[in-house]
Amino acid sequence: MTSYLARRAGQMVLTLFLIVTLTFFLVQAQPGDYATFYSLNPDIPAEAREQIKASFGLDKPLWQQYLVHMKNTFTGNFGVSFGHYPRPVMEVLAERLPRTVVLFLSATAVSFYVGFFLGKAIAWRRGGVLEYAATISGATLFTAFTPAFALMMIWIFAFKLGWLPVGKFLDPLIWRGAEVSANHVFSYMLATAAVFIAFAFLTLLAARKLGRLGTGRMPFLVIAGGAAVIPIVWAFTGVGYLALDILRHMILPIATLTLISFAGTMLLTRNSMLETMREDYVMAARAKGLPEKVVRDRHAARNALLPVITSLVYSLIFAIDGSVIIEGVFSWPGTGMTLLEAVRSEDLPLVMGSMVFIGLFSLLAHVIVDVLYVYLDPRIRYQ
């Protein structure tokens, strides 16, 4: 296991190296010069200009620039953003990365669960109304023009019905008198979510260890109790209304991203289930007289899960791209929107920085899926 992980980590570093190289040479290959972008910006004072030039080695030949760029990137120095001058790129991205991660992780988790659930249901009852409805609506959502669909969601839920805010990360009117920063509250929210997930996981683990006592509704009641404690604790901190405001802004982007990405998992699960359902062990399970639900969930669906996990890489990349678009439309200030903003204002250091971060993000997702697959399938050994 350790050697497998070490090799995967090595591959990841190599791939990241290639991505950084690619972005560097793409920027070099564009018409115009990277150096002039810095020196022509009138906002940058002369001394700072010289300092930046030296730190990037912009007066040296290309291969030396490349080496310096490589060193700077891997030590976390992406330079200074033009659009957010004088903040370093790293600081801008560090502030925005958690927001993207939350948006992406929650949407992926929900869409994977929904997709898997629907996929096994429509494979089990082939040819029913549900199959046609789910396939057509799923494929339509999957191929729906994401920006237009997101705008439609905004129009329905934020504009017409007025249930949710139109976009952005928070409502300035509510935050006007607040003494804490948004990132401060958001990091506490993240901590709460992490604690809750750990609590739910431990409860389920304990329920399994307890045997008969832990079956039935008991563990779910405990988890629900834990969930009920969270709002009470937040109410005492005094910033609960601020957290609620951020939460309200999160709902619509996450729901939209979920809706556009669940169909991929659903259609894959359907195909995988159709293949699994022909296996002998499914017939054996039926012949034993097990209830249909047990045959479906315990015998067929668990084995059908493996190919779906393999293809999860594709849906993860799809969701990362989707979150870039969604962030742009909802003005959700994450990495994706940073990339779009930077591209529009030709903020090259920020473009390179966010591209590297998005690449790193998808690489991490890729590796996690690989490790998960090896963990789920005992037939695969770590080599």
- The residues binding other proteins (CB under 8 A) are 15, 18-19, 23, 26-27, 29-31, 126-127, 132, 135-136, 139-140, 142-149, 151, 154-155, 159-160, 267, 271, 274-275, 278, 313-314, 317, 320-321, 324-325, 328, 336, 339-340, 342-344, 346, 351, 355, 358-359, 362-363, 366
Q: How far is the CB of 244 from other proteins (least distance, A)?
A: 25
Q: Which is nearer to other proteins, 203 or 323 (CB)?
A: 323
Q: Which is nearer to other proteins, 135 or 192 (CB)?
A: 135
For 258, the token pair is 């979920």
Considering only CA atoms, which of 252, 261, 319, 263 is closest in space to residue 137? 263
Q: How far is the CB of 215 from other proteins (least distance, A)?
A: 36
Q: Which is nearer to other proteins, 219 or 353 (CB)?
A: 353
Task: Return the DSSP state at 381.
Answer: P
Q: Which is nearer to other proteins, 148 or 284 (CB)?
A: 148
Q: Return the number of other C-beta atoms located less than 10 Å from residue 83's C-beta.
A: 16
Alpha helices, DSSP H, located in the chain: 2-29, 34-39, 46-56, 62-74, 89-124, 129-143, 146-153, 172-175, 182-210, 218-237, 240-276, 280-287, 292-294, 302-310, 312-330, 335-344, 348-376
How far apart CA 299 and CA 211 sit, in angstroms, is 21
Task: Check: CB of residue 366 under 8 Å from CB of residue 310.
Answer: no
Q: How far is the CB of 21 from other proteins (least distance, A)?
A: 11
Q: Which is nearer to other proteins, 88 or 264 (CB)?
A: 264
Q: How far is the CB of 247 from other proteins (least distance, A)?
A: 23
Q: How far is the CB of 340 from other proteins (least distance, A)?
A: 7
Cis status, amide bond into 86, omega within 30 of 0? yes
